[in-house]
Structures are given as C-alpha cells and as structure tokens.
Amino acid sequence: MRILVTGAAGYIGAALVRSLAPHHEVLATDQGAMDFGPGVEAVTGNLAYPKFARSLVTAQTDAVFHLASLVSGGAEQNFELGTKVNLDATRDLLEACRLAGNRPRFLFASSIAVYGQGGDIGDDTPARPRLSYGTQKLVCELLIDDYSRRGYLDGCALRLPAVMVRPGTANTALTGWVSAIIREPLAGRDYVCPVAPQTTMACISVRRVVEAFVHASRLELAAERAFLLPGIPVTAREMLDAAKARGAKGAVRFEPDPRIQKAMEGAPRSTRSARADALGFEPSRDIMEIVREYQEDYPDPSVARHG
C-alpha cells in the first residue's frame, strides 16, 4: 500500500511511520525535519497552504493517516491558525481524496475534546465541545462522515484520550503535564506540576494508539465511523508514583494554575466504549505499563528531552 502520514515528525506520527514503514510505501509530511531512513519518502511543508495539502494525495494513495493538528492550548490562543490547521487543512485533504477518485481509506486523529465535559465518558455521551480545538475536531468528523457517505473515501475517526509519555519539550497542549510529570523526574529534572495531585485524566500509551490506527485501517466500517478509544483513569499523584517506582530522581512540586486546573476539571476522567471493545481496540493496562513502554522506547533521558 501507498500511505500518507501527516504530522509525521510528531510524537504519534513518528511512531506510526516507524510501524508502517517495514510493510508499506510511506509518504511522511510535516513542517519539521524528518529522518526515517530508507523506505520512507519525507516531504516538508505546511498543510495550512491548500495547494500543498492537496498535492499530497494522488490516485496511487491507498490510505491517509491524518495526525497533523494545532493542539488544544494553541488552537484556543490563536483561533485563525487553529481553524486553518485543524479544519481547513483537513477539508483540503478530503477534497484531494475526492478528486483522486480512488476512494482511499482516511484515518483521522480526533480527540476526547469533542465531549467538553468531565467524568466518565462512554458511547452515549453527547459531543458538546467547549474549546475551539474540540469544535474543529468534531466538524472534521462530520465532514469525514459525509465524504464517506458520498463514496469519495472510506473514513474513520479515533477520539484519543491523553496520549503519553510524550518525549521532548512541552507543546501547547493543556494536557502537556501528563507527560512532563513522568518525563522530567525520570530524566533527573525537577518539575512544577500545574494541577493538583488528585487531578485525574483518561490516559493511553502511544503504542496502544499506533495499534489502534493500524487496526482501524483494516476494519470493515458501516454506519459508525467515529470511535472512542479506551482511556484508563490516572491521577497526577499516581503518575508521579509510577515514575518514582521506575527510578525517577527529579522532584515534583504541585502548584495548580487556575486556568489549567479548571480545564482539567472539565476533562474526561476515563473513557469506556463497548463499541470499541467489540471491535478489538485495546486499552493500556495501567500507568506502570505506560511508563515502562516509555522507558523502553526512550532509554536515554537526553534523547527523550530533545525528541
């Protein structure tokens, strides 16, 4: 298969490219530098420019994994840029698929931000986003449904919980602390956590997310095209305790930021989906598994620091 992966220099995108490359012909694109070695064609460019976005899909493209986005905090701070990157670029890719004429599979990284509420989220929870990021993701899901209904592509959206543990420096995601509270102490660095110890997030590891995208690409889809991935509930204290149990030396101090704390109190604590279970999507087992996988993928803390 010839596969396009957008956001390929990112945390999930890079892991997905590495998983797909041994078995498929992969075209990877992002704004940043990419070096996946032989077998992966890397194209640098900005999806916010329609001509570039539409040039990426041809009649030879069998599947598109669309992961590129401006994350929650960034989309809230810059509405125009968030709309261009998260909504307009997605529509340009959908149009490219329509014009290619070969009905490719389209896999979209959506988010639990589409729900806009806290607590335990399930299949019957209505999608009512409270942030621009969640609204943009939900609109894209609806577009993918319509393009699929009309036969232009075969689309599927995965609503992702907090994916961890992200290497490198912090991005503008409001949930960036869920990775930093593990990554920084494991690297021997102190960290000031912007939420209270009891703050709970629905979490999943990047390995489970990559498995989910690959699994979704093979499913026979019917009317339902947006799936909620299972996210286990983990408190900030439990994240820190798991890092300590795995050898973390850096100290963590909790100093809640009112803006971030309020946002987290309105975020899902856990996500459970009978539909996803029935289709074979698997959750992370526990926070210790997530931390162990991170250490296996990034055994050198200095590499983890710089991504």
Place of tokens 């990877």: 28
pTM value is 0.93
Query: In this structure, what DSSP letter does residue 231 have?
Result: B
What span, in angstroms and rounded, lies between the C-alpha atoms of 27 and 1? Answer: 11
Token pair in block for residue 143? 């577009």
Number of Cβ within a 10 Å radius of residue 72: 24
Of the candidates 116, 126, 101, which has an alpha carbon nearest to the alpha carbon of residue 226? 126
Sequential pLDDT tens for the chain (307 residues) = 999 999 999 999 999 999 999 999 999 999 988 989 888 999 999 999 999 999 999 999 999 999 999 887 788 889 999 999 999 999 999 999 999 999 999 999 999 999 988 899 999 999 999 999 999 999 999 999 999 999 999 999 999 999 999 998 766 677 889 999 999 999 999 999 999 999 999 999 999 999 999 999 999 988 789 999 999 999 999 999 999 999 999 999 999 999 999 989 888 999 999 999 999 999 999 999 999 999 999 987 665 543 3
Q: Give the pair of three-digit tokens for residue 240.
A: 């820190």
Sheet containing 105-111, strands listed edge to edge, beginning at the edge strand earlier in sequence: 40-44, 25-30, 2-6, 63-66, 105-111, 154-160, 226-228
252 bridge partner residues: 191
The encoded tokens of residue 14 equal 């890079």
Domains, the chain, ranges and CATH? 2-306 (3.40.50.720)
Q: Which residues are catalytic?
A: 133
